[in-house]
Amino acid sequence: MRPGLAVKLGAVICLCGSLAMPCSVFSYTFDGETRVGRNLDWVASSWGWVSFMQPADGGFGAMFFGAEDDIWPQGGMNDQGLVLGMAATPYLAITGNPGGLPVELDFWELLFSTCATVDDVLVFLAQYNLATISGYFERGHMLWTDRFGNSVIVEGDVVIPGDGSFQIITNYLHSEPQLGGWLYRLKCITRKKSKKCIHRQH
């Protein structure tokens, strides 16, 4: 990892309505330091899991985060400082690259063992048909961040690059906000001179 640059897992404080089940993921860079964080809310009785992948054959090591019995992770991080956070969204059809490679059980292991940057991720994803696993990528979006402070939101066929400052996702689609989502309120992120407050509700 480059000196002066750090990727830190942080905490996001959400103010939720009583019937809301919101998730949030953020990426925030200031003074050469990048922080990422996420929360995953579903129901009070739900539980999560963490799994680890050792580096092998010249690849990178990684850790993955998931929920309950679902074998497909909802986030992860590798030893190069590449971080993924996912959040559930309304359904969005994926029509691009129907002839791409199928998403199989080793998809995430391959990605995290070979990708170190956001650009690497976009090249990797472009090889695949993300509609292979019905409802997985079509009902969720991804926020990717690397150790250099680059970030990107991927919503099926849509790629939304970050501006080098911050990006945030929750349970609505940036590309199709009219589709709605759960009530979401994100507390202000305050860091030294930056006092921007991001508030979205759908």
Residues in the chain: 202
Q: What is the DSSP letter of 55?
A: -
Which DSSP state fits 186?
A: B
Contact 6, 34 (CB under 8 A): yes
| 195 domain-assigned | no
Q: Identify the pLDDT of residue 147.
A: 95
Task: Answer yes or no: is 191 within a domain.
Answer: no
Of 35, 7, 13, the residue nearest 192 (C-alpha): 35
Name the helix (H) or strand (E) containing 142.
strand 140-145
Task: Answer yes or no: is 198 within a domain.
Answer: no
| Element spanning 121, H or E | helix 118-125
Q: Is residue 13 part of a domain?
A: yes
- Asked whether the whole model's pTM tops 0.85, one would answer no
Question: Which portions of the chain are predicted below pLDDT 70?
Answer: 1-21, 42-45, 181-202
pLDDT at 184: 38
CATH code (residue 69): 3.60.60.10
The boundaries of the domain holding residue 20 are 7-179
In this structure, is residue 129 part of a structural domain? yes
| 20-70 residue pLDDT tens | 457 899 999 998 899 999 887 766 667 788 999 999 999 999 999 988 777
**Cα–Cα distance measured from residue 63 to residue 73, given in angstroms and rounded to the nearest whole number:** 10
Element (H, E) at 109: helix 107-114
Number of folded domains that form the chain: 1
**Residue 196: inside a domain, yes or no?**
no
Q: Cα(10)–Cα(44) distance, rounded to whole angstroms?
A: 21
Strand-pairing partners, residue 129, are: 102
Can you give the pLDDT at residue 202? 30
**Are 160 and 171 a contacting pair, CB within 8 Å?**
no
Both tokens assigned to 188: 């202000």
Q: Report the distance separating Cα 47 and Cα 154, nearest Å.
A: 26
Residue 185 lies in a domain: no
Q: Which amino acid is present at 8? A: K
In 10 A of CB 50, how many CB atoms? Answer: 11
Question: Does residue 188 belong to any structural domain of this protein?
Answer: no
